[in-house]
Structure 1
Amino acid sequence: MPVAAAVPGLLAALETHGAAVLQAPPGTGKTTLVPLALAAGRGRVVVAEPRRVAARAAAARMAALLGEPVGGTVGYAVRGDRRVGPATRVEVVTTGLLLRRLLRDPELPGVSVLLLDEVHERQLDADLVLAFALQTRELLREDLRLVAASATLDVPRLAGLLAAPVVTASAPVHPLDVRWCPPARPVRPPEGLRVDPALLDHVAGLVRRALGERDGDVLVFLPGTGEIRALEGRLAGAVPDVDVVPLHGRRSAAEQDAALRPGPRRRVVLATAVAESSLTVPGVRVVVDAGLARVPHFDHARGLGGLDTVRVSRAGADQRAGRAAREAPGTVYRAWSPAEHALLSPHTAPEVLTADLTGFALLCAGWGDVADLPLLDAPPPGPLAAAREALHRLGALSDGALTPLGRRMADVGLHPRLARALLEGADRVGRRTAAEVVALLSEDGGPGAGDDLLARWRAADRERWPQWRREVDRLLAALPADAGARAGAGTPRDLAAGLVVALAHPERVARRRSEDGTAYATAGGTGLELAPGSGLRGSPWLAVAVADRAPGRAAARVRTAAPLEEDTARAVVGVRVADEVGWDGDVRARRVERLGALELSARPLADPPAGAVAAAVAEGVRREGLHLLTFGAAARSLRARVACCRAAQGDPWPDLSDEHLLATLPDWLGVPLAGVRSRRDLARIDVLTAVRALLPWPQAGRLDELAPLDLPVPSGRRVALDYTDPAAPVLALKLQEAFGWTATPRLVEGRVPVVLHLLSPAGRPLAVTADLASFWRTVYPSVRAENRGRYAKHPWPQDPLSAVPTARTTRAARGSG
């Protein structure tokens, strides 16, 4: 194997640094030859693989190289299945299993070397096991050797995290013929779990073409099991003398192992991303790649998780193509164009940035502070906080630390929600019943279809679904010996399923909200809808296990749920009774019974607390605006004049702006607010007195002096000031009333100039000035020339500084003399 040439360098790096990054492309033997070489001189080696099928296949391949059965020198351990013995030197485990071992005993006694395979996939468990292993080496086991094996990751970054050298193995040189085969007509891009059937038709055509053009088995990459089933149907009867073999994580161990062995006839292997790395599917000379992948996503706002169908990354496409040339020259048929290939993302996004972090947060809480973990990418703060909050609701965390229930949940080997449902469900409905329901929720596929969990449960029991039964046995073994001791007489199956689901997802307990029985609202505040024809239609209450929301839709679609009784919903979620005082145009005071976001009942409160009323009214005014209060002319004038003084002198003049008055409403209008019960009451409040009370002394006594309501003008009248712009108050008067006036008035101890609006005898604007002396000298002559003919009855003297100011006509002025 090509990796053999790199083994001496790897052993030397471990000897001098204790850690190393092994960069080895697919097909070099890093998963099989390297662990055996490490075990030859360094004791027990544990190899971590991201998938169960890869762990079993790697162990089988190594055992075959030694001519031994699995369980001898080489063994494996995956969820629900372990084959090791006293002589085992190499144990292949899943990353999830290794995480739980590290939590139970971080020192990993007896283990000499950890080899973390396929770290480039950036799965959440793989990132976390790398961080835990690094801290174990740093704090507890300096002698523990660590190898991180990667095919496509940013190797210098990984080496920097490990503070270790990079050892590189070259790939075997087998020619690879890349054929670009986009569909003849455009296909719709994937959305959620939906893939355009036209793309699957095109992929089926590529498979038939490949069988006719090339020898050897064909490996087809599809995003999920639904697409595998759809392609099986399209190929049935169309490829004679060829076996069509599915390969994905939902198949039994025996079926997966069979797919990895050569068949008696030519084969078409339909695989998910499980075949991208770690595995060698013997006999494959051709790869047909649909170009799609499924990645986890989580809607943190609604608490809904699921999978999205996305375009494969360039690194993933290279991994897939390499499967065709692992053993000999090969060919890859790509269902896209070179131009589309150039637009693909270089690498798959790390799961820590997109996935549900509840399990991640639980494991971190059992290990230490996540901020101290040497992670390739830190978890986003918002989703991490949401995950911790979910763990608090599940009873796994208290004040940030694991509770006894949380410690048991971390050890079960399930998502924290399912772990809680198993552990607490055993005490409520019995061990086996809880295990059977949780096994249904943790194992996808199986008999039965639709969204009714009870129907699936009956079908699994009736058909004795092997994969489900094995998981049930594993969960029963994982339960503490005393679990279920407090369970009462048997809970009916129709009620038990909903109770267990509610324990896992209390925020998804849902109540019917539409007359047709298809729309529901959850305790977490999310809207749900049932699929047309659902057998759950009309159920008053549901416990929803799986739901997803398509882009652009307001409600999420229920995928798996069970009927629930209201009493069970109340017991699991908990009911909160609170007095609520709010504003909807009037004060509404009620005593409300709520189950999460669901309102169960409400009755009026006759005498609500005055403080709560004041707060509710204040919030209503903030929401709708100050126009709900009656600010008469005097109050508006007061606010404007104070604003003028504040603009000129600052504190202690108060801020009476809309924004500040709204923000501090209970402070200056508190007592009157307590008596409000309606919009009409609010409009009758004496706002002027309340606002005037905000003025400090002695400023309040000087307001009329500093910012008067009006000013005397040369004609003898007093003219009101306009404070609309507090920094530039306006005095509007007829031009003739300003004759002889040379000093522009100023306010607030001379700090604020008044802007004069000089008007025509008809009250129309003629000029605006804050410098009268300049106006008379430079502007008045042109104003006089333009207006003396139009307003001939009014004085327009050549020398306005010596003229008598007047608001009257020339004739009236003479008559009065």
Structure 2
Amino acid sequence: MIRDDALASLPVRGALPALREALDGHGTAVLVAPPGTGKTTLVPLALAGLLGEGPERRVIVAEPRRIAARAAARRMAWLLGEKPGESVGHTVRGERVVGRHTRVEVVTTGVLVQRLQRDQELAGVDVVVLDECHERHLDADTAAAFLWDVRQALRPELRLVAASATTDAQGWARLLGGAPVVEARGTAYPVETVWAPPVRPVRPPHGMRVDPALLTHVASVVRRALAEREGDVLCFLPGVGEIARVAGQLGGLGEVEVLQVHGRAPAAVQDAVLLPGKRRRVVLATSVAESSLTVPGVRVVVDSGLAREPRVDHARGLSALTTVRASQAAGRQRAGRAGREAPGAVYRCWAEAEDARLPRFPSPEIKVADLTAFALQVACWGDPDASGLALLDGPPGGAMAAAREVLAAVGAVDSVGRATERGVRLSRVGVHPRLARALLDSVPFTGADRAAEVVALLSEEAPREYGDDLAGALRRARRGGDAYSSRWRTEVRRLRAAVSGVSDKAAEAETPAGLSEEQRAGLVAALAFPERVARADGGSYLMVSGTRADVGAGSALHGAQWVAVAVADRPVGKGHARVQSGAVVDEDVARLAAGALLDERDEVRWDGGDVVARRVERLGAVELAVRALKDADPGLVRDALLDGLRREGFGLLRWSAEAGALRQRLAFLRLHVGAPWPDVSDDALHARVEEWLEPELGRARRRADLARIDAGQALARLLPWASGEAGRLDELAPERMTVPSGSRIRIDYSRPEQPVLAVKLQEMFGLQESPRVAGVPLLVHLLSPAGRPAAVTADLASFWRDGYRGVRAELRGRYPKHPWPEDPAGAEPTRHTNARLRR
């Protein structure tokens, strides 16, 4: 019997005529309805004609989460007075509850994408409702893009509805070809906001870490809300670990029941939360309770202000969830849960001043997540770069390139990115392409049962108490009676069916002999993540990707020579990754799993101040075997020597005083005269190394050979011989200059801006103007009889006139044997003392 009273109380009923009109006229619509209005439950029933109005249609409702899909189907069945699987059913991964007469089927967005890949026309389906599209999950965006393609090319009669409580309605309207926007008014009750920030500052979230002080504060706010308000309390926390910690701090609440709700919670707990409680309740939940689920009896929301979003570290090959500040849109959704049935209150565990600085909407997954699965889906769809898909946000180029590299490595796409036959099969397994590859490729070595067991363990994060040893976690899942092990067994059966037909016989020529339980588990993990196979190296593990990782001191993995890392993250402030799940393997398994990364080559490089030549067998970044190389390729040796010159400079060559002076003279001419005089800076010499350092460099094999190369002789090759200008070197930049005394004094070109002539003062008597080279006045260092600078000038005439008198007064008494005439400009220059002049 249809529950008319319950249906009549749902406010979205008033928007149904406009929604039907939009779908009949345009074929698409965007439905914006506040939480609690019935958009998830009433609208699909009405569109399917199950309420006695309108034609009979088959409707698919896509939800972003399994718990929401099950709950929505159960609620709709209850409204019709039926059991799930009759008029209304649901399908999630590993679970299908539908019947011959099912007209409304609730599925997860992932299931919908898989169904579209198998049946692009969605034969027999009349309407698709994409619920909670504001959450911007990657599968939801993908499904919307595929559906629009189907409607445009194959099924123009297929009706599409994008439904959400808070969303970019105009953006979705544009995406669906200018779809009408239908808004439903809600009857939400007022919700009072109580700002409840911690008394003392707490550390911001980083990675998966949440400051324990914040969780303690959240627990205290829950206790405060219980004391100050009536009704049940719904508390939002970012993840399962935080829920468990807060639950542990809420002991001693008497008659108050504490429930923990998340995607991994037992079905009995999930069901209990959606029914009125017999006593007062505190429901600790992740963002799963933000929109899709209505928890009856809630009058108070306590919001930690945190959420989890996916992130990927392409440089280290690690991807994981990370804790972030929840967006303003999420905050509104959460607060609205307190006002669905009566006036309520939301306690926000942050300061009011911080609220305006929060992001407006959550980050679209397509911008921040690992795109490997998405890239495979669009390749199978026939649009490898997703350029032709209707997406609110396009995929980042770098993330797509990284995803295609992974897909190419496992043979899922060809050289231009199109899906191969193998890629199509991988896409239909219903897990991440890495895990699908591991499932299919490990069967010949481990058997289908073992492969399915390990992949099922990797496809959903195991409880923390299962530990970081994959083989140990597998044994615990087999014997466990908890909710996780129950879901794990269901997934094992599904995956076992997915590999039916794959041979269980070991490939005798390739299979490492006598694989242990641990090694079989490790082989599957290594096939999924070949770049994370790691060998012990200096107290940590070096992955073949080049990333270093540590295992916990008490880990069963500790001390193993080789491990296959299944899950890892990077802790706060640490340079190494941290292994969260892995298995012990040996080198044979490592070679088998990561064989595509196996390489043997000659390596010749500059290392430790000299050329090192060796033949190295590598598994990615991990060296397996090394031996000295006697007859190294001359080209590789030359490259190594050039690298040494770049790193240590041309000082590795033999620089005589004349060679050094030549380089300085050329630098002077380049600066003041320009072409054709060569640039002799390090960068320029490296750029023209073939012109001046051959053939000497070609004959060198080690550092000692470089030290025998005459740099001056080599550098002379760069002089402008062809133009004849080389012959003017001594004219334009002479090594020495004849001064008035007759002495030939060396010019110091070490400062090419203004070379220096250091000469005894008495030898410059009689010279009226400063000497020049290439038109540049020299900076004259006039030296005392002891050879120390008495004056520095670039204008001799000015010095004789204004500066000499002071120098004469200071030095005449100290050096009485030397001439100190009153008129130096007219005096006779000399290298000798007065006594010698008199003789």
Fold similarity call, TM over 0.5: yes
Native 8 Å contact 1:447 1:459 kept in 2 = no
Q: In structure 2, what is the equivalent of residue 370 of structure 1?
A: 386
Residue 759 to residue 378, structure 1, CA distance change in 2 (3 Å):
farther
Matched residue, 2:652: 628
Deviation at 1:513, TM superposition (A): 2.7
Cα distance, 1:649–1:15 mapped onto 2, change above 3 Å: farther
Change (3 A) 1:502 1:734: same
Deviates more, 1:75-84 or 1:539-548: 75-84
| Counterpart in the other structure of 1:148 | 162
- Hey, what does 2:334 align to over in structure 1? 320
Alignment check: 8 A CA contact 1:740 1:804 kept:
yes
* 1:22-421 equivalences in 2 (<5 Å): 22-40=31-49, 43-164=57-178, 165-236=180-251, 238-367=252-381, 368=383, 369-399=385-415, 400-421=417-438
Residue identity in the other structure for 2:232: D
Is the 1:448–1:459 contact (alpha carbons within 8 Å) kept by the matching residues of 2? no
Deviation at 1:51, TM superposition (A): 0.6
1:580 is matched with which residue?
603
1:579-625 CA distance string (max 9 Å, x none): 11122222221111111111111111122222222211221222233
Instruction: Check whether the contact 2:312–2:368 (CA below 8 A) recurs between aligned residues.
Output: yes
2:312–2:369 contact (8 Å) kept in structure 1 = yes
CA distance in 2: counterparts of 1:670 and 1:404, whole angstroms: 53
Residue 430 in structure 1 maps to residue 455 in structure 2: no
Counterparts in 2 of 1:401 and 1:790: CA distance versus 1, 3 Å: same
Aligned length: 802
**In the alignment, structure 1 residue 21 sits paired with structure 2 residue 30:** yes
Paired letter, 2:749: Y
Distance 2:777 2:397 in 1: 54
CA separation of 1:104 and 1:692: change in aligned 2, threshold 3 A: farther
Structure 2 CA distance for partners of 1:681 and 1:799, relative to 1, 3 Å? closer
Deviation, 1:521, is 1.8
Q: What residue ranges of structure 2 are gaps of 5+ in the alignment?
A: 1-9, 813-817
Q: 2:767, 2:121 → 1: CA distance? A: 94
1:475 matched to 2:495? The reply is yes
Alpha-carbon displacement from aligned partner over 1:492-536 (angstroms, at most 9, x marks no partner): 43321111011011111112235xxx7322111222222121122
Superposed CA deviations along residues 198-218 of structure 1, whole A, max 9, x for unmatched, are 433433333344334433332
Structure 1 position 124, deviation (Å): 2.4
| 1:566-577 correspondence runs (5 A) | 566-574=587-595, 575-577=598-600
**Deviations along 1:208-244, whole A, 9 cap, x unmatched?**
44334433332222221122223333334x2333333
Structure 1 residues 214 and 724: alpha-carbon distance in aligned structure 2, compared to 1, 3 A threshold: same
Structure 1 contact 362–391 (Cα < 8 Å) conserved: yes
State the distance in 2 between where 1:56 and 1:271 align: 17
Distance in 1 (CA, whole Å) between partners of 2:713 and 2:242 is 73
- Alpha-carbon deviation of 1:105? 4.0
1:368-395, Cα deviation, whole Å (9 max, x unpaired): 1234444333333333333322333333
TM-superposition CA deviations, 1:142-174 (whole Å, max 9, x none): 444333223333444444444524333333230
Give the unaligned 5+ runs of structure 1.
none
Matched, 1:687 2:702: no
**Residue deviations 1:54-95 (CA, integer Å, cap 9, x gap):** 112222222333333333443322111223344433332212
- List per-residue Cα deviations over 1:470-489 (Å, max 9, x = no partner): 00111122225345466679
After the TM superposition, which of the residue ranges 754-763 and 165-174 deviates more from structure 2? 754-763
Equivalent of residue 753 in structure 1, options 773, 776, 779: 776
- Contact 1:426–1:487 (Cα < 8 Å) also in 2: no
SS in 1 for 2:719: coil
The CA distance in 2 between the partners of 1:756 and 1:185, in whole Å, is 66
Residue 743 of structure 2 is matched in structure 1 by: 717
Greater Cα shift, 683-692 or 316-325 = 683-692
Q: Which amino acid aligns with 2:486?
A: P
Deviation at 1:418, TM superposition (A): 0.9
Deviation at 1:779, TM superposition (A): 5.5
Q: Does 1:502 align with 2:526?
A: yes
Change (3 A) 1:289 1:660: same
Alignment correspondent of 2:5: none
Report the Cα offset of residue 434 of structure 1.
0.5
Asked whether the equivalents of residues 795 and 809 of structure 1 are also in contact (C-alpha less than 8 Å), the reply is no
Distance 2:316 2:701 in 1: 35
1:45 offset after TM fit, Å? 3.0
Q: Structure 1's 39 and 657: CA in aligned 2 closer, same or farther, altered over 3 A? A: same
Give the Cα separation in 1 of the matches to 2:729 and 2:363: 65
Checking the alignment, whether the CA contact within 8 Å between 1:757 and 1:765 is kept in structure 2 is: no
> What's the counterpart of residue 815 of structure 2?
none
AA aligned opposite 1:682: L
Change (3 A) 1:513 1:133: same
User: How many angstroms does 1:451 deviate by?
Assistant: 0.9
TM-score, normalised relative to structure 1: 0.90
Point out the more displaced range, 115-124 or 154-163.
154-163
Q: 1:675 to 1:7 in 2, by over 3 A?
A: same
**Native 8 Å contact 2:691 2:718 kept in 1:** no
> Compared with structure 1, are the counterparts of its residues 67 and 586 closer, same or farther at alpha carbon in structure 2 (3 Å cutoff)?
same
Conservation of the 8 A alpha-carbon contact between 1:712 and 1:719: yes
Percentage of identical aligned residues: 54
Instruction: Give the Cα–Cα distance (whole angstroms) in 1 for the partners of residues 386 and 654 of structure 2.
Output: 55
Shift of 1:439: 0.6
Letter aligned with residue 444 of structure 1: E
Q: Distance in 1 between matches of 2:744 and 2:118?
A: 89
Contact 1:182 1:336 (C-alpha < 8 Å) held by counterparts: yes
Q: Which amino acid aligns with 2:560?
A: S
Q: Which residue of 2 aligns with 1:466?
A: 486
Q: Distance in 1 between matches of 2:134 and 2:628?
A: 60
Q: Residues 206 and 758 from structure 1, CA distance in 2 versus in 1: closer, same or farther, beyond 3 angstroms?
A: closer
Residues 601-616 of structure 1: pairs in structure 2 closer than 5 A: 601-616=625-640
Q: Is the 8 A contact 2:33 2:164 kept in 1?
A: yes
Structure 1 residue 3 corresponds to structure 2 residue 12: yes
Q: How far apart in 2 are the matches of 1:318 and 1:26? A: 10
Q: Which residue of 2 aligns with 1:653?
A: 677
The 5 Å alignment of 1:778-817 reads 780-792=800-812, 793-794=818-819, 796=821, 800=825, 804-807=828-831, 815=838
Cα 1:689–1:107 change in 2 (3 A) is farther
Alignment CA distance shift 1:52-1:765 (3 Å): farther
Letter of the 1:387 counterpart: A
Secondary structure of the structure 2 residue equivalent to 1:256: helix
Q: Relative to structure 2, which stretch is displaced further, 256-265 or 604-613?
A: 256-265
Q: Name the structure 2 match of 1:511.
A: 535
**What is the alpha-carbon distance in structure 2 between the residues aligned to residue 442 and residue 319 of structure 1?**
29
Write the distance in 1 (CA, Å) between the matches of 2:441 and 2:277: 46
User: Which of these residues, 764, 774, 790, is aligned with residue 789 of structure 2?
Assistant: 764
Tell whether 2:547 aligns with 1:532: no
| 2:4 aligned partner | none
1:692-711 superposed matches below 5 A: 692-698=716-722, 699-711=725-737
TM-score, scaled to structure 2: 0.88
For 1:273 and 1:307, the matched residues in 2 are separated by 13
* One-letter identity of the residue aligned with 1:295: E
Give the match for residue 557 of structure 1.
578
SS in 2 for 1:402: coil
**1:570: how far off?**
1.0
1:616 is paired with a residue whose SS is: helix
What are the within-5 Å matches in structure 2 for residues 436-455 of structure 1? Answer: 436-445=453-462, 449-455=466-472
Contact 1:530 1:557 in 2 (8 A): yes
